[in-house]
Amino acid sequence: MSLDLIERRPPTTEVEERGETETMFVTLTVAKQLCGVPVLSVRDVLGEQTITRIPLAPVEIAGSLNLRGRIVTAVDLRRRLRLPPAPPGSPRMSVVTEQGGELYALLVDQVREVMSLRSSQFEQTPPTLPGDWAAYSDGIYRLASGLLVVLDVGRLLALAPDR
């Protein structure tokens, strides 16, 4: 797989014309839904972390954590997608991505394996998807085990500065 294909946004019809291409995703679950984040946008995968709450911050921001001396802002994906909060005591994992030189951790329920997905499995986001999912989804992959929602990290992290 060549680098320029990976750096692309998830395949478009234009790519399909050229034939099958594969994109690698880090797969994760949030409220039992399988999601994917392009592997190259992921800097780290973390287990349970100590997170410092940030008062007055938007609700989606779970707090900040220390990743090897760098301060990472943690965004709770459940809250971002307006999903019910995780049952208390359940372990959370984080996917660390970089955006504009800053590190952000997406708090998810579980991080799964890295998958290579073919463009033939790709579909545009169905318009009927509820608002929050539609806004942060880049498309859907049809997998044998179910559907995988591609998350748009950029839009997920574009939190409005006003509350």
Q: Which of 13, 14, 56, 113 binds other proteins (CB under 8 A)?
A: 56
d(CA 129, CA 123): 13
159 scored as a contact of other proteins (CB under 8 A): yes
CA distances from 6 to 1, 24, 25, 101, 132 (A): 8, 7, 10, 20, 26
Residue 151 burial (C-beta neighbours within 10 Å; 0-12, 13-18, 19+): buried
Part of the chain binding other proteins (CB under 8 A), chosen from 19-27, 83-91, 131-139, 155-163: 155-163
> What minimum distance in Å lies between the beta carbon of 61 and other proteins?
7
Dihedral sign of CA atoms 79, 110, 112, 29 in order: negative
The residues in 126-145 that bind other proteins, with binding defined as CB under 8 A, are none
Q: Which of 19, 47, 87, 100 binds other proteins (CB under 8 A)?
A: 100
162 scored as a contact of other proteins (CB under 8 A): yes
69 scored as a contact of other proteins (CB under 8 A): yes
Q: Regarding beta strands 42-46 and 33-38, do their DSSP bridges make them parallel or antiparallel, or are they unpaired? A: unpaired
Per CB under 8 A, residues contacting other proteins are 50, 52-58, 61, 63-66, 69, 71, 73, 100, 102, 104, 157, 159, 161-163
